Every structure is written in structure tokens, then in C-alpha cells.
Amino acid sequence: MPETKKSTLALVAERAGVSIASVSRVLNGQPASVQLAERVRAAADALGYVPDASARTLKTGRTDQIAFAVADVGNPVYVKMMHEVERVVAKAGYRLVLSSTGADPQEQIGLLGSLNRGFADGLVLSPLRLSAELVDALRASRLPIVIIGTLPEDVELDNVRVDSMAGIMLAVDHLVQQGRKRIGFVNGPVDTNPGTARLSGYLTSMAEFGLAATADLQVAASDFTYKAGRKAAARLLGQSSPDAIVCSNDLLAVATLKELTERGLRVPDDVALVGMDNTDVAELANPSITSVDLGAARRGKAAAKLMLRRLADPAAGVKRVVIEPTLSVRESSVRAGVGAGQHISPGYEEVRA
Amino acid sequence: MPETKKSTLALVAERAGVSIASVSRVLNGQPASVQLAERVRAAADALGYVPDASARTLKTGRTDQIAFAVADVGNPVYVKMMHEVERVVAKAGYRLVLSSTGADPQEQIGLLGSLNRGFADGLVLSPLRLSAELVDALRASRLPIVIIGTLPEDVELDNVRVDSMAGIMLAVDHLVQQGRKRIGFVNGPVDTNPGTARLSGYLTSMAEFGLAATADLQVAASDFTYKAGRKAAARLLGQSSPDAIVCSNDLLAVATLKELTERGLRVPDDVALVGMDNTDVAELANPSITSVDLGAARRGKAAAKLMLRRLADPAAGVKRVVIEPTLSVRESSVRAGVGAGQHISPGYEEVRA
DNA sequence: CTGTTAGCGCATTCAA
DNA sequence: TTGAATGCGCTAACAG
């Protein structure tokens, strides 16, 4: 069993009877004679030597840490992203530092400040709201940043976005094919990025199919949670009688499902239901919920790869990746066991990430 | 707008026309004359100075980071814990570093090694399996460790555990009160810590109530996931006809619910169902699932506080916190709207955390 | 191939 | 109260 006390390069060098430079070289795999390497390794083992991260960082400027900041750790979709980011960066030798900011842009600006202290080599950020001030702070930041989400065109930052317009279109198209006409929409807050994007997707899709998107068919929950979803769904069902409902995420969909069930409405017989994000809860729900897959895992993976690329070449040109959504058809949108389990994509070539 | 270039103490000192020592003092709130402080602060602002984390760490030995390692980032119960740990340590000025090891003890041992590189001041660990080797590594570690989970008595580490035996007892007791007799059990892998604990809780509880815990009433899923739960539940229902089922966690419970529904069995009319962990999915399920609350949030909070305490006083005696479970009664275990929504606890004083 | 040495940026001791 | 100087542990440039 190796020593438990903290040891340093100098101690190892002393024990091996060589210079600390030699120890450093051997341990970093640089050329050295076999015998010297032998002795160094023996000494290092005996002392249980582990290099000190902060000293190395101070010298090299690298921390081997990547920060991941997300608005809501409670939302499964972010967990999915995080999981994937972690997987990719870990394989490249980086640790993931989780920085849960709230939804507030101000907090994220604070994060940027502390990032400049140098505790991470880069930041992957998935902001819910994108204030002008945050954009400025992002621009001014000294270290690599990858944004997951849509960005103004003139912001020169690596980012991966998803075509949520196309996502909603998939959902509406599918519902129309099932013979639905009065398609309701349970959105999240419209002052968020996803909120506005999905609303415009809904309006566009409805127009495309010549369906009326009347005001009574639309509600917005106060946030993207189950609880807010229950209230919003209740409001919707109080003011109209849709034969199908699209929800802005799966949590809202589960909430809507519950609300429907409690009112004695059957899913999908009376009302068809489609969620978004294709998280586990869509699969777990009863009936299982058809959901637009916005590629959370793919987005996480793409973002992580963009980060690794930028770290490898800080001068490289800005790169934007667009993820195409697909539709996972489940029980909630298809009558009596016909066609459930399908997987529908827009047919474009998926952007390689 | 402050300079975007990286600045150092020396630069600030130069600009303010003082020594770097003075700058350091002012910025760390140590006594200095008003005018000097004034000038230092002005210069620091103008340069957008932020202290470098690694240099400070190298000097002080503190990183202001706490690592949190968990077997399965996909399990909501760990997300809940993590969330709470993050909240508590953040308030004390620490960042949370997420280290997702797999379920494999070997990976966790690797983590301990790299921890000694000094990238974190402490580790909060919630192991699924606890090999002798891991215990040894834990013991040998140089930095503070808090374990979430049950530990052999002779291991001198701060830890917070939950009385899962009592938890199962709550579930069985509740089911018996509902008039159920043939109580089945869907467990996770028995070679895990929770798996063995919950199995013995089941057996003890059944014996306590004079019920037969025959072999055909018990199955073990290959892991604690939905998918494995489906298979296990199918097996259980193939080999016996329970009038109630206790599941080792909520994911397994949702899976069992689905399996029951697909076989045309009604919950709770035909079969009552109880899960464990009291995660969101229990609430979201349809019908909502009664669940034993093993206090994930409370455990996270307690663990974080133990860590802060140990950091503040490394020489303090080992402390163990025991969390008492409670039962959240929902639709899945109570016939026709009587008594759902109750919250049952064993009546012990809850350990203050 | 190996040793000597100079910082990386900061907190801190010691003088003044 | 303030400044000068030291060293945390390491890597890399340079010298031998």
C-alpha cells in the first residue's frame, strides 16, 4: 500500500536520486533512459505520488475541466444533455463541472465572471433566456464557449441549435394524418427562447395545413414544469374542445394527459397528444406519449465535440450545427394499435456532429 | 466595459502604483488605508481583474470545489440528491464538480486517485456497490469524504444513511391496512447495497405481519431501470397473482404499473402498487404511485452539511446521520379515493440534519 | 539523455 | 500601514 501522505516531484526525485526535471519527463512520457525511467517509476509508486492539479494548471494554463451550465437541473432533457456532454469530454480527459445557474440571465453573467478565474477551460451553456446583456458578456468572455440553443445571427459563437419549427411541423403533420383538426397547443413561457420558437412553429404549421389556430386553442404555462402544465391544460380544456394537443415539452404533456384523464377524456380516442423532447417520461407515461425528439443527446454530443475542437484549435472559424428533429410515435396519438412505434424524420440528411 | 485581457495582481499593482502585496490585501479585505484601498479598487476595476483560481489554490491548498460522484446520472433520485448538494455547498462558496462514475467500484477507486491530485477539497459519494477494495481506498484517501449509503460499522467515515428497512415496513404496513395479503416484491439487483437492504426489509416486514413471502412473490430486476423493471414484472406476474406489489424504486414501479395495465389488471382495484424514492415519476404516473420517500433531498442536504462541517474542522469526530423514511400515499394503493394524499411517517423524531 | 533554473499568480512572512 | 521577498509544485527552456 502506497504512502498516504502527500508527495511532490521533489520527494520522488530525492528518493530516486535524480533531478525533478527527469521525474517530470518520465511521468509525462518524454524520452528518458530505461533505467532512469525504471527508478523514477519505482520511487513514484513507493511514495504514491500524484501530480498536483493546481500547480500544473498554474504552469500550463490548462485545467482539464469543462463547465456545463444549465437553467434547470430538474428537467430530464438537460440531464440527458449533460450525460452526453460528460461522456464525450471525459473520453478526451476532461472533467465536467456542473454549474447550475437559475433561469436568470444575471446568474449566468456572474458565472462568466467567475469562469475567468480560470477554473475551467471552456463553457457549454444552454440558456433559457438570452438577454442582450448576456450576449454581450458571452462575446466579451476570454475563454471558449459553446451555446446550445438558437443565437442571433451576428453572434460569433460556436453553437448547436435544433430546428424546433420543423419539430412542431412533424407533430402537426402527424396529427393531421390521424384525422385531427382542432389541434390545441400547450406552450411554456413565451419569454423564453424555446417558448417563442415553438409558438411560431405551431402557428406556422397550422397555417400550412389550413387549420385555424384560434386563441382559445392556445395556452402558455408559467414554466416548463408539470405543475404549471396542469394549470395550463385545465385552462385550455375549459375554453375549448380540441381533438388533439401539442405540448411544448414532455412534462407539460404528462400534465395535460393527467388533466384529460381526470376529465374522463380518453387518450388517444377522444384527444390525441404529442409532447416534445422525447425524454423518458414520454415512454413511461400511461398511455405512452408520442414525442418530438429534439435530439437532446445529439445536441449534447455535438456541443461537446464543438468544444473539444475549439480547445484544440482556438483560432478555428465559428461553427454552427443544426440538429433535425424526429418524431417518436407512441400510444397517445394513434387509435387502436395502428402505426404506433414508428419513427418519423423529415428526410433531410442529418447534420453530422 | 472592463478590459477583456487577462490581468494579474502585478498589473493592478503597477497601475495603482502600489505593491502587489497591498493589492492582495485590499482585495482580500485586510486592513489598509482608505486611499490606498480606493486606488487599488479603481485599478482592479479598470483592468477587470479576477484572481486566478489555480494560483490561489497552489498557495492556499483550497480549490473551493466539492466533487459529487454517483453511479447513475440517469436515475432521478440521484439528480434530486445532486441538486440539493449543489444548493448547500454553493451557498458556502463551493462549486460542485460532477463525477459520474459507473456502478463499477473500480471506476470509483480511480476517481479517488485523481481526487488526490487536488482538484477538489472533498468528495460526496453515493456508491451502489461497496467492495472491500473500495472501502480500503476510501479509508486511505487523504481528503474528506462523505458517503451517502450504509457503511460497515468499522469504517470511520462521515455518512448519511436511510433506514430502508423501516421504509419497506411502512409500505407493507400500509398495504396490509388496505386489506392486501399476497404482497409481491420487485427488487433491483441483490448484489447492490440498496438491493440487499430492501430485500431483507421485505422479508422482515412480511414475517412481522405473518404473511407468506414465498419465492414466487419475489423477483429481482437486473438493474434499477424501467426496462429491466418491465421484464422483472412480467416474470412476477407470470408466476404468481399478488394483490399488491412493492417495488424497490419508482422506475421499477412505473414499469410494473405498465405491465399490470397491459395485462388488463387495474391499479389499485386489482393490484395495489407502492414504489420507493418518491421521485417525480411517482407523481406523474397515471394513476399516481404511492411511494416510500427515502429522503433523497434530505440525504443530499445532510451529506453536504457533513462535508462543510468536516471541511471547517478536519479533526472533528466521525458523524453518522440517519434519515427516517416516510410514505407518500397516492392513487395506486388506495381504493376509490379514500385516504389518498396522506403522508405517513414512523413517528420517530426525525434526525436533524 | 539529464540537470539547472526560471517563472506561472498568488498569499504571506518579515522588515521597514 | 506598506513593500520586498519567498515559495506553493510544476513544466519547459536552456545548458551541459
Structure-block grid coordinates of residue B238: 407470470
**Are the beta carbons of B124 and B68 closer than 8 angstroms?**
yes
List, chain by chain, residues whose CB lies under 7 Å from nucleic acid strand C. A 18-22, 25, 31-33, 35-37, 55, 58-59; B 6, 8-10, 20-21, 24-25, 27-28, 49, 51-52, 55-56, 58-60
pTM: 0.87
pLDDT, mean over chain A: 90
Q: Which residues have C-beta within 8 Å of that of residue B264, sequence separation ≥ 6? A: none
Minimal Cβ distance to A98: which of B5, B57, B96 = B96
CA distances from residue A3 to A52, A244, B140 in whole angstroms, order as listed:
16, 67, 9
pLDDT tens for each residue of A289-305: 999 999 999 999 999 99
For strand D, the positions having any atom within 7 A of a protein Cβ are: 1-5, 7-13
* HEC profile of chain B: CCCCCCCCHHHHHHHHCCCHHHHHHHHCCCCCCHHHHHHHHHHHHHHCCCCCHHHHHHHHCCCCEEEEEECCCCCHHHHHHHHHHHHHHHHCCCEEEEEECCCCHHHHHHHHHHHCCCCCCEEEEECCCCCHHHHHHHHHCCCCEEEECCCCCCCCCEEEEECHHHHHHHHHHHHHHCCCCCEEEEECCCCCHHHHHHHHHHHHHHHHCCCCCCHHHEEECCCCCHHHHHHHHHHHHHHCCCCEEEECCHHHHHHHHHHHHHCCCCCCCCCEEEEECCCHHHHHCCCCCEEEECCHHHHHHHHHHHHHHHHHCCCCCCCEEEECCEEECCHHHCHHHCCCCCEECCCCCCCCC
For residue A101, pLDDT beyond 80 = no
pLDDT in tens, B268-289: 999 999 999 999 999 999 899 9
A318: pLDDT strictly greater than 80: yes
Distance B67 CA to D7 C1' (A): 28
Higher pLDDT, A216 or A337: A216
Domains along chain B? 9-51 (no CATH), 65-163+296-324 (3.40.50.2300), 164-294+327-350 (3.40.50.2300)
Question: Would you tell me which residues 56-85 of chain A have a C-beta closer than 8 angstroms to some C-beta of chain B?
Answer: 57-58, 63, 65, 73-74, 76, 79, 82-83
For the stretch B59-93, pLDDT in tens is 999 999 999 998 877 788 998 999 899 999 999 99
- CA B268, CA B177: separation in Å to the nearest integer? 14
pLDDT tens sequence across A146-166: 999 999 989 999 999 999 899
Backbone angles phi, psi at B95, to 5 degrees: -95, 150
Query: Is the pLDDT at B345 greater than 90, yes or no?
Result: no
